[in-house]
Amino acid sequence: MFLWGKGCPNYLSTLFLSPGVTVNLAGTDCLYPLWKVDSPVPEQQTINRIVEHNSNDIRELLLMELDDASWDNAQPLPSLL
Q: What is the pLDDT of residues 11-63, one digit of tens each?
A: 888 999 999 999 999 998 888 889 999 999 999 999 999 999 999 988 888 88
Of 6 and 38, more confident: 38
Distance CA 58, CA 21 (A): 27
Residue 24, classed as helix, strand or coil, is strand
Q: CB of 57 within 8 A of CB of 31?
A: no
Kindly list the distances between the CA atom of residue 40 and the CA atoms of 9, 15, 35, 43, in Å, as whole numbers in the listed order. Answer: 27, 12, 16, 9
In the prediction, which pLDDT does 36 show? 95
In the prediction, which pLDDT does 30 show? 85
Flag whether pLDDT at 74 surpasses 90. no
The model carries a pTM of 0.73
Distance CA 57, CA 34 (A): 11
